[in-house]
């Protein structure tokens, strides 16, 4: 059941209505039943996997807290890690690992035919596995108590708004809220619906529109010009952002209607001034997961530059592999690791050079140049990420640099490959304007929330979340801003409604990209 399906339009209002009508002591059971039904709507057999993950992590955390000796605690931790990661590796990486071994053996002239088993990848397995493991690791470290109520813990693992594509929540954020009695709030309901509207607009209007022009180029990479490949890469950056950020906003909005506040997963990533900053703003909960449970235990940046580089490469190698069982995702991770390591090495000399020559790095022009440079660096990464396999990724990146030309015929050929005509260019420009519009809407919902804390937003960039919604309410500027917001929401609702009508007529649902991870 996709968020942008007709089924969800029926499922979600029923869940919320019954949730608020039930007494508090029964709400966990209703949410658990709804979440399991939501997950089983893809494939009923998937429920056994999530039940196994829930059961083993629940028992392991309970035994870890009860055991006195460190060796027994390590045993239960190892048991939870091995079973949960074993499930993930089998369903997601078994064919990939098997064929990688076969390819390696063929390098030595053994000529073994590739083997592939028909293993269906359960949706969201990477997300709920990491969320369950974070709980066990936090209990093992003494940062969170073991949850005694199996029902509440099962809801924590399978909470339907964020089950299949995050955000990856921590015990102290989500489980604590699930155990606390929530009271109906008209403000929460309205804010949640507005966030959902922003998310649907990003996905149904912007991401799906950009996908129309991205797909033809990737289906014909061998004949695409460098300009066409660059345009496709740039548009895919926006498509993927609107697709995944749209899902996260729908998840946050759906939870907010039930009084639950999920962690913000995106914080203006394309305004980043560096690659490392980008990963503090993009898929924030996954970046924090790898930082807290892998990068820091490996030693972080405490053991010298060489060890820091090694840790960074390991983390991004696994981060790339987490996104998919294909070598192009590994290459994408190593590409990011290269630039982050380069930034780490060059940062001090660059700062010294700027201080010596009195260059103001905080000036508007310098920041604009840095952001523009970062976007150009993101484009090859987007090509690698979007390509279907390593060979396609190499073809895309090579084509980006080797097929440039000039003249009217070259421009015509580039736009023809993308399927962009005159009216399409106007549509793309409108979507870019709407991207800024929906960004403003989402930012407003985040800003006016008095419950957002620096711990749930990037601590390096929290000045924009101050609550200013009640200042100067009677001023002309406030009334004007309110009018623009109403117009923006009305326009967005109309656009989303049109997308739903087209969906109902065609019966074709565009899945969220991160469902495959």
- In this prediction, residues 255-269 reach a mean pLDDT of 92
Residue with structure tokens 């002591």? Answer: 25
Q: Considering the chain, what percentage of its residues have pLDDT values greater than 90?
A: 48
Instruction: Catalytic residue, from 149, 323, 451, 479: name it.
Output: 323
Other Cβ atoms within 10 Å of 368 Cβ, number: 10
What's the Cα-to-Cα distance from 442 to each of 186, 193, 246, 434, rounded to whole Å? 18, 11, 10, 12
Three-class secondary structure of residue 115 per DSSP: coil
Burial class (CB in 10 A: 0-12, 13-18, 19+), 221: buried
Burial class (CB in 10 A: 0-12, 13-18, 19+), 319: buried
Per-residue pLDDT, 478: 53
Per-residue pLDDT, 100: 81
CB contact at 8 A, 492 and 438: yes
Our answer to whether residue 479 is catalytic in this structure is no
CB contact at 8 A, 167 and 251: yes
| pLDDT at 176 > cutoff 60 | yes
CA pair distance 434, 207, nearest whole angstrom: 11
Per-residue pLDDT, 381: 95
Name the band, by pLDDT with cuts 50, 70 and 90, for residue 468.
very low
CA pair distance 126, 360, nearest whole angstrom: 43
Give the tens place of pLDDT for each residue, 304-338: 888 999 999 999 999 999 998 899 999 999 999 99
Structure tokens at 103: 């390819």
Per-residue pLDDT, 123: 87
| pLDDT at 444 > cutoff 60 | yes
What's the Cα-to-Cα distance from 312 to each of 299, 408, 513, 517, rounded to whole Å? 10, 45, 26, 22
- In this prediction, residues 227-244 reach a mean pLDDT of 92
| pLDDT at 505 > cutoff 60 | no
Residue count of the chain, please give it.
517
Per the prediction, the chain carries an average pLDDT of 84
Pairwise pLDDT comparison (77 vs 500), residue with the higher score? 77
Per-residue pLDDT, 475: 46
């Amino acid at each position: 059941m996709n968020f942008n399906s007709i089924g969800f339009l029926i499922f979600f209002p029923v869940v919320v209505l019954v949730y608020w009508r039930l007494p508090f002591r029964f709400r966990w059971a209703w949410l658990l039943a709804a979440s399991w039904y939501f997950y089983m709507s893809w494939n009923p057999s998937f429920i056994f996997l999530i039940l196994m993950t829930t059961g083993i992590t629940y028992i392991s955390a309970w035994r870890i807290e009860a055991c006195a000796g460190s060796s027994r605690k390590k045993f239960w931790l190892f048991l939870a890690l091995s079973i949960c990661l074993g499930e993930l590796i089998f369903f997601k990486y078994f064919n990939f690992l098997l064929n990688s071994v076969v390819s390696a053996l063929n390098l030595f002239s053994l000529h073994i035919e590739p083997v592939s088993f028909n293993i269906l990848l359960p949706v969201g397995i990477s997300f709920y596995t990491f969320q369950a493991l974070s709980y066990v690791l936090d209990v093992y470290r003494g940062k969170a108590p073991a949850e005694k109520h199996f029902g509440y813990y099962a809801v924590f693992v399978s909470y339907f708004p964020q089950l299949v594509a995050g955000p990856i929540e921590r015990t102290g954020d989500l489980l604590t809220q699930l155990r606390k009695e929530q009271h109906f709030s008209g403000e929460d309901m309205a804010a949640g619906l507005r966030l959902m509207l922003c998310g649907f607009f990003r996905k149904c209007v912007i991401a799906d529109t950009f996908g129309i022009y991205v797909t033809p180029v990737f289906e014909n990479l061998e004949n695409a010009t460098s300009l066409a490949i660059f345009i496709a890469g740039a548009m895919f950056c926006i498509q993927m952002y609107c697709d995944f950020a749209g899902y996260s906003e729908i998840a946050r909005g759906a939870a907010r209607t039930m009084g639950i506040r999920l962690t913000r997963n995106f914080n203006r990533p394309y305004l980043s001034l560096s690659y490392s900053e980008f990963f503090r703003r993009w898929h924030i909960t996954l970046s924090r997961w790898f930082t807290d449970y892998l990068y820091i235990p490996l030693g972080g940046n405490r053991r010298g530059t060489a060890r820091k580089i090694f840790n960074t490469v390991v983390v991004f190698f696994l981060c790339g592999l987490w996104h998919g069982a294909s070598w192009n995702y590994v290459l994408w991770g190593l590409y990011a690791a290269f630039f982050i390591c380069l930034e780490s090495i060059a940062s001090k000399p660059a700062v010294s050079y700027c201080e010596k020559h009195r260059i103001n790095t905080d000036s508007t022009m310098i920041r604009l140049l840095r952001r523009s440079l970062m976007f150009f660096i993101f484009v090859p990464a987007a090509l690698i990420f979007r390509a279907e396999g390593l060979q396609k990724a190499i073809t895309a990146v090579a084509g980006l640099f080797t097929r440039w030309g000039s003249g009217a015929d070259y421009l015509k050929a580039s736009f023809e490959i993308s399927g962009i005509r005159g009216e399409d260019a106007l549509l793309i420009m409108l979507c870019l304007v709407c991207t800024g519009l929906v960004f403003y809407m989402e930012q407003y919902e985040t800003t006016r929330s008095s419950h957002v804390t620096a711990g749930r937003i990037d601590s390096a960039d929290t000045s924009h979340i101050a609550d200013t919604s009640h200042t100067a309410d009677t001023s002309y500027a406030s009334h004007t801003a309110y009018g623009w917001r109403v117009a923006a929401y009305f326009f967005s609702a109309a656009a989303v409604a049109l997308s739903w009508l087209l969906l109902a007529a065609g019966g074709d649902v565009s899945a969220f990209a991160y469902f495959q991870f």
